Each structure stands twice: as structure tokens, then as C-alpha cells.
């Protein structure tokens, strides 16, 4: 993979005089976790969590292309892998975007964004459990349509092959000896997101999305996910004055006749303070509705973010997670996390 990156960079510099308008962007994400209680799962290590290199440009008058390579820390080693590789058209069908290739699935809120762009450091319990630590991504096609109505409604439909839901899975497969034939999904993953946007002013808006996703993996486990995502944000100048973000997901799984229902949610709220700082908190909840142990996982996180500019941020957070069962606390995990994110190269898009 490193050879591939070198080749891409060399090719880009060789054609610098006529690079066809190619944009190059690099993003780095470093973390340090410190356990604050005995049973903490903190890594207590300064970790280069990810480095991502993205190339994007118009391919020709019809198509845009995106190639994104990311290196993730996996047990001390940084392995580069293909994150995104897709071709996109925005002109064939009015009000539409068609994407074909490998990409983050267009469902929920945080799944549609790279982790270094999130407003918090760690993955919410529900997203980690239902999707992946970073995000669910897969190869397939996605269609996005902005409805021609007075009300601002956006419809996303996607179909993906279903056997590559997350990259964490890839590492396990590599270790176990991946058998491609036996890892094929029983049917393609398919999903829908219908979102509504309400503009309060040119800096303040609210988006609500309804999501449905179905998949059946190689082992015959069939899952139906229903979700609601919500965002209320006021951005004035460089600062997000106020953010209220939430996702609620319900998952129904069935494997070999055994049915499991789970419900999870998070709520995140952040306020801007001083010129470049923000204080926020997040509440997490995850429950197995069919479990006989009445187990519920909770987490509460408080955070401080310093935004040096829109290209770099430093974030400190303290997180306390605990599991309750039959009215007793059975596990506690308290940790402090320091995160540093920076972006090089092309200007990132300002997206709501």
C-alpha cells in the first residue's frame, strides 16, 4: 500500500504543471488515553490513530472521482487501507447525485463523516456496536435525490455488496485466513435515509433524518436497523455557537432462529466559549432488549475543544462508562483522552 501512495504522490508531482485540478488533502488524528480507574480499558499509549490521504477531482465533464487511503493503528502497527474509491455524477439526473464504488454509507449522522471531522473523540456506544468503531463502509451504489418540494427533503437510497461492512472486520479476516467465497453476504445491504432540513437563519438550521438499513451477512445473521438522526446547529463565523446532535438506533437481528433486539442512542451538546474554544458533553445508552440479564450500558463524556483554526483542533475529554445489570453496576471504565487533529492541503468543504 505504501508503494501505491508513493506512486500516487510521484505521479501527482510529475504532472504538477497540468494536474487536471486535482485536490490533495491529508488528515491526521492522534490520541492519548489514560485510565482513571482500575478496570479502565484505556490504552495508556500515545497512538497515531489514523492518517488519511484523499485525492479528489473532476475526472471529466461528467464525473468526479475520490480516492481515500487511511492508515489505522491496529495493535501497534499502522496499516494503510482503501477507505473510499468512488466515481460520482451530479449532472445526469436533475437534483441527483449518483455514487458508485466504495464509500461510507449515507445513513445516520456520524457515519457520513470521517472520524477526524466528528465533534467528539470516541465513537458512541450505539454506533460502535451497530456499525463499526469508525464507520460502516462498503462497495456499491448510492443515489441521492433532493425532492422538488417547498419543504426541504432529501432522499438517499443505497445498495452495497454487504460483505465488507467495516475495516476492523478486514483485520480479523486477514488474521484468520480470509475465504472470500464463504464471506459473501447472503443478500446486498440496502438502505434508505429520508432527511428534512429546516432553516432558521443562514447560520442556523435543523436536520432530522429517518433511516432504515437491512443486511444479511455471510453467517446468515439478518439485521434490520431503524434509526433517527438529529442535528441543530448555529455556526457564526468560524465558531459553532451551539450544537445539539443525536442518533437513536434500533436493531433487530436474527441468526439460526435466535432473535435479538437492541436499542441505543446518544445525545451530544456543545457550546462555544471564548474565541476558539468549546465545552461539550455526550450521553450514551445501549440496551439489549431481549437479554435476560437486563444489562444496560451507559457512558457520560465531558470535553473541551480548542480550535486553532478550521484546520486543527486539540480536544481533551473525560469519559465514564458503566454497565448496569439487575440494578447493580457490574463494570466501570473511566478514562481521560487527549486528541490532536490536523488537516493539510486542500480546503475542507464547509458542510452542515
Partner 1 sequence: MYSKLKVLFIFLLASSTLARVNLITTTTDIAWVANQLGGEHVNVKSLLNGPEDPHYVEALPSFIHKTASADIFCVIGLELESAWSTKVLKRSGNRKVQPGSKGYCDASKNVEVLGKLETALDRSHGDVHSAGNPHYHLAPSYLVMASKEILRALVDNDIKNKDIYESNFNSLSRNLINLKQENLLKLSQIKNLKFMEYHKEFTYFLSDYKLNNTGSVEDISGVPPSAARIVNVINMIKENKISAILATQNAPKKILGKLVEATGVKVIYSPLSLEDYQSKDAYKNLQNNLINQLVELK
Distance between CA atoms of 262 and 249, rounded to whole angstroms?
Answer: 8
Q: Which of 13, 14, 16, 94 binds partner 1 (CB under 8 A)?
A: 94
Distance between CA atoms of 218 and 180, rounded to whole angstroms?
Answer: 10
- 91 near partner 1, rule: CB under 8 A: yes
CB of 253 to partner 1, least distance (A): 32
Distance between CA atoms of 43 and 34, rounded to whole angstroms?
Answer: 7
213 conformational bin, left if phi > 0, alpha if psi -120 to 50, beta if neither: beta
Rounded CA Rg of the chain: 21
Q: Which residues of 93-126 are buried (b: 16+ CB within 10 A; e: fewer)?
A: eeeebbbbbbbbbbbbbbbbebbbebbbbbbbbb
* Residues 1-40, mask of contacts with partner 1 (x by CB under 8 A): ----------------------------------------
Q: Which is nearer to partner 1, 201 or 328 (CB)?
A: 201
Stretch that binds partner 1, among 198-206, 265-273, 278-286, 333-341 (CB under 8 A): 198-206
- 100 near partner 1, rule: CB under 8 A: no
CB of 291 to partner 1, least distance (A): 39
- 65 near partner 1, rule: CB under 8 A: no
Q: Which is nearer to partner 1, 240 or 253 (CB)?
A: 240
Q: Which of 63, 250, 281, 311 binds partner 1 (CB under 8 A)?
A: 311
Total residues contacting partner 1 (rule CB under 8 A)?
A: 37
Backbone φ, ψ for residue 45 (5° rounding): -150, 145
Q: Which is nearer to partner 1, 154 or 303 (CB)?
A: 154
Distance between CA atoms of 238 and 211, rounded to whole angstroms?
Answer: 30
- 203 near partner 1, rule: CB under 8 A: yes
Q: Under 8 Å CB-to-CB from 182, ≥6 apart: which residues?
A: 218
- 352 near partner 1, rule: CB under 8 A: yes
Q: Which of 19, 57, 78, 96 binds partner 1 (CB under 8 A)?
A: 96
Amino acid at each position: 500500500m505504501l508503494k501505491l501512495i508513493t506512486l500516487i504522490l510521484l505521479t501527482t508531482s510529475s504532472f504538477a504543471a497540468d494536474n487536471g485540478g486535482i485536490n490533495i488533502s491529508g488528515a491526521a488524528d492522534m490520541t492519548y488515553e489514560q485510565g482513571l480507574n482500575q478496570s479502565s480499558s484505556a490504552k495508556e499509549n500515545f497512538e497515531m490513530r489514523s492518517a488519511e490521504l484523499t485525492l479528489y477531482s473532476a475526472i471529466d465533464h461528467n464525473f468526479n472521482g475520490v480516492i481515500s487511503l487511511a492508515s489505522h493503528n491496529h495493535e501497534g502497527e499502522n496499516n494503510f487501507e482503501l477507505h473510499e474509491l468512488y466515481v460520482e455524477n451530479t449532472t445526469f439526473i436533475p437534483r441527483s447525485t449518483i455514487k458508485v464504488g466504495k464509500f461510507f454509507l449515507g445513513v445516520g449522522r456520524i457515519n457520513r463523516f470521517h472520524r477526524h471531522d466528528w465533534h467528539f473523540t470516541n465513537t458512541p456506544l450505539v454506533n460502535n456496536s451497530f456499525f463499526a468503531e469508525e464507520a460502516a463502509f462498503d462497495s456499491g451504489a448510492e443515489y441521492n435525490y433532493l425532492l422538488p418540494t417547498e419543504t426541504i427533503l432529501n432522499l438517499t437510497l443505497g445498495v452495497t455488496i454487504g460483505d465488507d461492512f467495516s475495516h476492523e472486520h478486514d483485520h480479523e479476516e486477514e488474521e484468520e485466513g480470509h475465504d472470500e467465497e464463504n464471506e459473501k453476504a447472503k443478500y446486498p445491504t440496502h438502505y434508505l435515509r429520508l432527511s428534512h432540513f429546516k432553516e432558521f437563519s443562514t447560520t442556523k438550521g435543523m436536520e432530522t433524518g429517518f433511516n432504515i438499513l437491512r443486511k444479511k451477512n455471510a453467517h446468515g445473521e439478518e439485521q434490520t436497523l431503524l434509526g433517527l438522526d438529529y442535528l441543530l446547529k448555529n455556526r457564526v463565523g468560524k465558531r459553532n455557537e451551539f450544537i445539539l446532535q443525536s442518533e437513536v438506533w434500533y436493531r433487530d437481528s436474527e441468526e439460526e432462529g435466535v432473535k435479538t433486539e437492541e436499542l441505543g442512542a446518544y445525545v451530544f451538546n456543545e457550546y462555544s466559549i471564548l474565541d476558539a474554544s468549546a465545552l461539550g458533553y455526550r450521553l450514551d445508552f445501549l440496551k439489549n432488549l431481549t437479554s435476560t440479564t437486563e444489562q444496560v450500558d451507559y457512558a457520560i463524556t465531558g470535553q473541551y475543544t480548542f480550535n486553532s483554526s478550521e484546520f486543527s483542533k486539540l480536544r481533551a475529554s473525560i469519559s465514564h462508562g458503566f454497565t448496569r445489570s439487575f440494578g447493580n453496576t457490574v463494570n466501570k471504565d473511566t478514562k481521560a483522552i487527549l486528541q490532536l487533529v490536523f488537516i493539510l492541503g486542500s480546503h475542507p468543504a464547509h458542510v452542515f
